[in-house]
Structures are given as C-alpha cells and as structure tokens.
C-alpha cells in the first residue's frame, strides 16, 4: 500500500504527533542536555538565537563556561554529562524500552551503558585504523569524536526533535561505512501535513571557515534530495527505531522512508541541523560575562559566512538550525571526551 494512502489522513498524522510527544516525555530532561548546557555552557537564548535574514535558518550559539576553580573551561564537566546520556545516543530506543519493561532496570541499564561505551571505544579504534590506512578522507575524520553526540542532545533536548535512527549503533554494528548524515531526527511540519526529516551534519575543526564550508557541502546533497539521500532513506526504512510505543504506527511511519514509493518525497519535508565547533581566540580569560559580549559581537561574522555558503550551496530555502560552539581548543574537547570515555567505570 502506498505511503500516501497509509499516512495522508489526519488520524495517522495525529498519532505520529502523539508518538513524538511520548518519545520526548521519556527523556529525563533535568539530567540531560538542559542540565548539560546550564552547567557547562553559557546560555542566553535572548542574545544567541536568531533567524538569519535572507535564508531559512535559525542560529544558536553556546560556549563553555569556566570551571568552578577558574583554571580551565568545563571540558571535563561536559564530557561527564555527555557520558550520562551515552545510552540514549548509542543504544536503539526499543532495546532501552525492553530493559525497562523486563525489570531490574538499574542492572540492565548498567549493562546497556557498558555496551554503549564499548561500541564508542571500538568505533574510535576502527576509525583511527582507517585514517592511518588513508581510507577516510582527512576532512571527514574531524567530523566528531563527541560532536555527533552533542548534536543529538541539542536536537532532542533543546529543539525537542526525537531521534528516528541511532546512526552510531548502525555505524558500530558494521552495517554501514562512515558516510551519510551524522544524525536523523523527526517532527511534524507546523501545519501537520508532512513529516519533517532533519538531517544532521557536524564539523569540529580548528578553523571556523573550513568547518562551515565542509559542513554545508556535506549536507547539501541530502537537503537538495539528490541521489545521496536514497541511502539515508533506505537506512531509515530498515532501521527506524522509536521504541515499543506503537509497532503498527512505526510500520506506517517507515513508508515515509521508502525511496521506492513515489509518494515518499511528497509527504516529507527535508530540513537541516548543523553543528559547527571551532577554535576562537576572543575568550577573556575566565570572565564569562566579558567573553559573552565578545562572542555575541563575533557571531555576526559567523552568521554572515554561514549565510554566504548556504546560498552558494543552493540550500537557502531549506529550513535549518545551525549551532555555533566556539571553544578555546577543539582538540581538548575531543581528547577529554575520549579520555573520560575510556577512564569512566
């Protein structure tokens, strides 16, 4: 049966809306990214979130606060908070639901946590091996090491967009190579007539311009619905995991992700999520208020460059969120996360 028949009526769309709401209520909000951002980042959405003129994008900006000792920024605190959320990022939602349903929740979740850690450690080891063999292009090798999870948490906890597919679980299970979107999240369009698919792309680089350029050139084929998108749709159709909430509805939902169904692209709207991490020299040593002022001033240039490259990639009409995360040292962010991942018991 065609997706247009399965999903075109309001009842099915309303059911999807309920599922999305239910997925978000399962998240322990106070112990996830909201807490992460409050405790590790300076957040002032009145100043740092704005619609970008001339393109269909909204910008957000966060930066790490000084730690309580005022001898570094909150790299370690951020890494530990990200580890707290590792299960949700790596393990499929249905597997988490099953562990909770079977009882002995704490013990089962602890096993899932160790499994998630093992998958991440193995992923980094395999990635390093492929880099050394020259089998991963240099610019792609700097996509994440923590950045992908940060994008996942930002999407779920700030934008309230549940993850439709655990890409890290797919990557670490040998089902795909290191290509494609860094995350896939969903919601209904504002008029509730389409399913909005958010493709995510992360670039964490020392140089801001390089990060933006590679981020947008990487995500553009997906947002323009070129051939590259078919691979992502195939993955969604095969591995979409929204837990044990409503198996029949999930089966219907998967028809949205079937590139062989002509109605697939008519009933979905593609959107973008970009996270840009980069080195920034304008940090006023351990003075978060003064640093905030400089960051707000500097963000005008970041937005301008992002707008220019969005137009050059012909994706200015696509709805996107872009998150700018200036850091004192992106390598410290990467190394701290990987070290805590290996050291954490």
The per-residue pLDDT for range 277-302, each reduced to its tens digit, is 999 998 888 888 888 888 888 888 99
Percentage with pLDDT > 90 across the chain: 25
Spatial CA neighbour of 175 closest among 109, 131, 241:
241
Q: Flag whether pLDDT at 341 surpasses 70.
A: yes
Model confidence over 111-137: pLDDT tens digits? 888 888 888 877 777 666 666 666 655
The whole-angstrom separation of Cα 144 and Cα 142 is 6
Question: What are 62-76's pLDDT values in tens digits?
Answer: 888 888 888 888 898
Judge whether residue 262 has pLDDT over 50: yes
Q: How far is CA 27 from CA 105, 157, 162, in A?
A: 15, 8, 10
Domain extent for 49:
3-343
Poorest-pLDDT segment among 131-145, 172-186, 288-302, 317-331: 131-145
Helix (H) or strand (E) holding 275: strand 268-279
DSSP per-residue codes, 32-94: SHHHHHHHHEE--HHHH-EEETTTTEEEEE-EEPB-TTSSSBTHHHHHHHHHHTHHHHHS-HH
Q: What is the pLDDT of residue 133?
A: 64
Q: Which residue has the tokens 């028949």?
A: 5
User: Residue 16: pLDDT above 70?
Assistant: no
pLDDT of residue 206: 95
Pairing of strands 63-64, 41-42: antiparallel
- In whole angstroms, what is the distance from residue 273 CA to residue 276 CA? 10
**Cα separation values, 136 from 69, 130, 132, 179, 288, Å:** 39, 6, 8, 10, 38
The residue to which tokens 């089962």 are assigned: 108
Most confidently modeled range among 17-21, 189-193, 202-206, 232-236 = 202-206
Number of structural domains found in the chain: 1
The answer to whether the CB of 248 falls within 8 A of the CB of 15 is no
């Amino acid at each position: 049966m065609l997706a247009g028949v399965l999903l075109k009526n309001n009842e099915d769309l309303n059911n999807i809306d309920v599922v999305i709401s239910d997925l978000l209520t399962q998240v322990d909000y106070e112990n996830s990214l909201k807490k992460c951002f409050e405790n590790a980042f300076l957040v002032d959405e009145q100043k740092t979130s704005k619609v970008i003129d001339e393109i269909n994008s909204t910008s957000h900006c966060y930066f790490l606060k000084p730690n309580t000792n005022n001898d570094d920024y909150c790299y370690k605190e951020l890494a530990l908070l990200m580890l707290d959320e590792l299960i949700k990022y790596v393990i499929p939602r249905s597997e988490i639901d099953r562990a909770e349903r079977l009882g002995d929740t704490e013990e089962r979740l602890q096993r899932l946590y160790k499994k998630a850690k093992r998958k991440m450690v193995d992923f980094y080891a395999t990635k390093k091996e492929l880099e050394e063999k020259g089998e991963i292009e240099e610019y792609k090798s700097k996509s994440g090491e923590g950045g992908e999870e940060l994008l996942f948490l930002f999407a779920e906890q700030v934008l309230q967009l549940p993850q439709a597919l655990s890409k890290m679980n797919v990557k670490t299970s040998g089902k795909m190579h290191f290509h494609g979107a860094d995350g896939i999240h969903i919601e209904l369009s504002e008029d509730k007539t389409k399913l909005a698919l958010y493709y995510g792309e992360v670039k964490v680089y020392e140089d801001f311009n390089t990060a933006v350029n590679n981020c947008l050139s990487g995500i553009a084929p997906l947002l323009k619905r070129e051939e590259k998108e078919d691979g992502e749709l195939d993955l969604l159709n095969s591995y979409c995991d929204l837990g044990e909430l409503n198996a029949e509805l999930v089966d219907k939902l998967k028809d949205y992700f079937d590139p062989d169904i002509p109605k697939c692209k008519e009933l979905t709207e593609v959107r973008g999520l970009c996270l840009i991490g980069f080195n920034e020299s304008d940090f006023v040593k351990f003075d978060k208020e003064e640093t905030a002022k400089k960051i707000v001033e500097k963000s005008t240039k970041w937005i301008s460059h992002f707008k220019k490259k969005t137009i050059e990639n012909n994706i200015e009409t696509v709805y996107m969120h872009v998150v700018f995360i200036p850091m004192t040292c992106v390598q410290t962010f990467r190394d701290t996360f990987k070290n805590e991942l290996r050291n954490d018991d």
